[in-house]
Structure 1
């Protein structure tokens, strides 16, 4: 298990006192996290621990308490946070004729996608897809993509434009081993070569151990955080997952 390099690049993101309450029930309580640029922060926990709720709160999709601060250290000023998001699934009906080009073009061009293809946008999108070994998918129908292909396309989309924070919500669910390795290699490349922070929600503890710089064990509040080794050897981890062995 790798140790955190504790490397904060030009930006820092602080989630401060996040809380979510539904009726009289606290779903999340007093979540305080410092997310480092150039690092992968993984969020783990049992089902119902509040992981998806935290992501929705960060995305501002649900009402919540607390704030997110995004600071440009180089210029010593606070800025608006730009987030890229890769969901676990994309709800698109079978036989929907939308192509990969149509999907990405809807975000980068003002021309309606049912008009003639914009050659400049087409080449730009193809170049973007090529960064994630998905350029050959540009004319394929989205609903016909395999799980691994779709996640590479969604990752390409999440990186348009370059975000400050990339959120991955169970991104390799249902993908085979080779697809998982390829996906995580791309994420590892992004965190090392781009000025962004990455949050991963995952149940796959093996990959969390292999690729994470920082791990957060969540159960409505933060039970333990640190390197994978520190979290996995903690009492809180054993109480949550039992005596799991992660190599």
Structure 2
């Protein structure tokens, strides 16, 4: 069996949070360290906030995530506040200086209703002038076309915390409008499948994203097409957004 706890532990193995080596993590950590209060929406196992605390952040750090198994790992650090819930559960009036959604978590907001409810809640959780920083994959790059076991870059061999030699890859089940449904397969190296993890991701373009943000009361302070803060262009793979609450 490959449990939910195993899946959460595997996520940390596949996605080590390292701002000294990864440009996306290096983009977020200074923003977190400079804010006196931070809400990390979709915090997962809490790697970003745990590292911020380790590196000396003295303010309020709150992680919000619906995955209980991931939060079980986050809860190992008691000097960060961990809350079980979805983005729409963000508490109004909390007056955070910064809210984040890292790891393309924003793309798991699928329906228009879910997007509106989530953005409204995040807006309400920020203080006036507070910022919401997140990224979403630019649909023009068609990232899903590389999510296949025929792409050697998408097949990852790892050894998990239990010492098991594992292989992980993706398959795309469907592309319907701007929503892509994928499967992540966890298997032994001999091909024996241990777990299949399904996920849906929404790919919004710049105009659609801007419309949702404006309707929720955000203004766009900056948008970048990569982690080096270059502008969004016709070849950008990311839409990295810094939005400000009015």
- The TM-score, its normalising length taken from structure 2, stands at 0.36
- Structure with bigger RCO (C-alpha 8 Å, 6+ apart): 1
TM-score normalised by the chain length of structure 1: 0.36
* Structure label with greater radius of gyration: 1
